[in-house]
Amino acid sequence: MPGTSGVKALFFSYFAFVGMTSPYLSLYFADRGFTVAEIGVLMTVPQVLRIIGPPFWGWLADRMSRRGTLLRASASAVLALAILLPLASSSGYAATLALVAVLYFMTSAQAPLAEAMALESAGGDFGRYGKMRLWGSVGFIVAVSAIGWVLDQAGVASLPWWMAAMALGLLAASWRLGAAPSGHGISGGVGTMRLRLRERRIQWFFLANFLMIVAHMGLYVFYSLYLSELGYSKTAIGLLWALAVLAEIALFRLQRPLFQRFGAAVLLPASIAVAALRFAMIGLSGGWLPLLIFAQLLHGVTFGLHHSAVMARLHEWFEPSRQARAQALYVTVAYGCGGTVGGLMVSALWIGFSPAAAFLGSAFAALLGCAAALASARRAVPN
């Protein structure tokens, strides 16, 4: 069983890297002269790679005795690719697209393996899980708040070098885990996994989370660009992202009573309903700061509570021998398929109508996701 300190370090460094890329990479691409349509495709590539990457890494993890080797190999590749990003972006769109594809294929190994280790280490205690997972949020907030100020001072063109520095930290964290044995091998069988996936409650669950990530792509792809066009500085953008993650950290820290009282079956659809409200508020805000601040505070529910409710359901439905594959499937369906569809959807709404329309489309997708989550909760008995 992996130690909690190693898992915390992995979460911290991985989400610090995400904190540097998710809010600011679109600004870097804009600085390099790419169009909105090209940026939309580039920022959707990570979601496409989450269709391909997690099943591959999950399959490989099931057949290797040590997860640490996979984590170190992928982190080393991320470091090299971050260093090469300025060269690729100077060479043109095709080279940049190819590099981003390989980069996010490599990063797709990190989250599923970290989550599987955390769930194994927590042993079903979601108070304990939250205290490990919040270190990912801490890493994100440190990176997102610091890099906004740094980019205002040094220029957005320096972003790849900061990405490389954080990739080095990710590599160091993977060494801290040591051998990180996978433990359960391939027991359980693919056939049994397929039988479980035929249950209607689980099918509705995956549909709900597909739609939840479709909804979130307005945030992940265009939120920083949206604020920039409204006149906010990169420092202000970083602070708004940091505020959201502070709410997320608070939720992870305090979530145990919520799970004890309501359970994941109730909290999952509730978190998706709040997401619909949040994205509608962003789209209708007109840049009004108090409304944007309130919407960012809701991130504690729309990400923190939602994520823990998802992990609780996966822990409930899939035994330890299938956790790596269940995590990979969740990332593939939700972040891979949902992220790809959502990225294309918000890009089309942004270009065809307006930035506000992109966020209102996200709100509608979240409403549909809430309905699917309620259907999953009603399916108490496998069908």
Q: How confident is the model at residue 134 (pLDDT cuts 50, 70, 90)?
A: confident
DSSP state letter for 286:
T
What is the tens place of the pLDDT at every residue in 325-373? Answer: 787 788 888 988 898 899 889 989 999 999 999 999 999 999 999 999 9
Domain ranges of the chain: 4-182+191-378
Q: How confident is the model at residue 193 (pLDDT cuts 50, 70, 90)?
A: low
* Other CB atoms within 10 A of residue 93 CB: 17
Query: Residue 33 — left, alpha, or beta (φ > 0 → left; ψ -120 to 50 → alpha)?
Result: left
Is the pLDDT at 128 greater than 90? The verdict is no
Is the pLDDT at 179 greater than 80? The verdict is no
* Other CB atoms within 10 A of residue 9 CB: 21
**Mutual orientation of helices 93-107 and 36-63 as an angle, nearest 10°?**
30
pLDDT of residue 381: 47
User: How much is the CA Rg of the chain, to the nearest whole Å?
Assistant: 19
Q: Which residue has the tokens 């090299």?
A: 80
Is the pLDDT at 380 greater than 60? The verdict is no
Calculate ∠ Cα 149-30-49, nearest 5°. 95
Q: Which residue has the tokens 């021998």?
A: 321
Task: Locate all alpha helices (DSSP H) within 64-199, ordered by sequence.
Answer: 67-91, 93-107, 110-122, 126-154, 159-176, 190-197
3-class secondary-structure state, position 111: helix
Please tell me the CATH code under which domain 4-182+191-378 is placed.
1.20.1250.20
Q: How confident is the model at residue 50 (pLDDT cuts 50, 70, 90)?
A: confident
Is the pLDDT at 229 greater than 70? The verdict is yes
> What does the DSSP assignment read for 300-331?
IIIIIIHHHHHHHHHHHHS-GGGHHHHHHHHI
3-class secondary-structure state, position 343: helix
**d(C-alpha 381, C-alpha 266), whole Å:** 16
Q: How confident is the model at residue 124 (pLDDT cuts 50, 70, 90)?
A: low
CA separation, residue 67 to residues 2, 79, 157, 351 (Å): 10, 19, 34, 42
pLDDT of residue 122: 67
**Ranges 120-134, 157-171, 173-187, 219-233: which has the least confidence:** 173-187
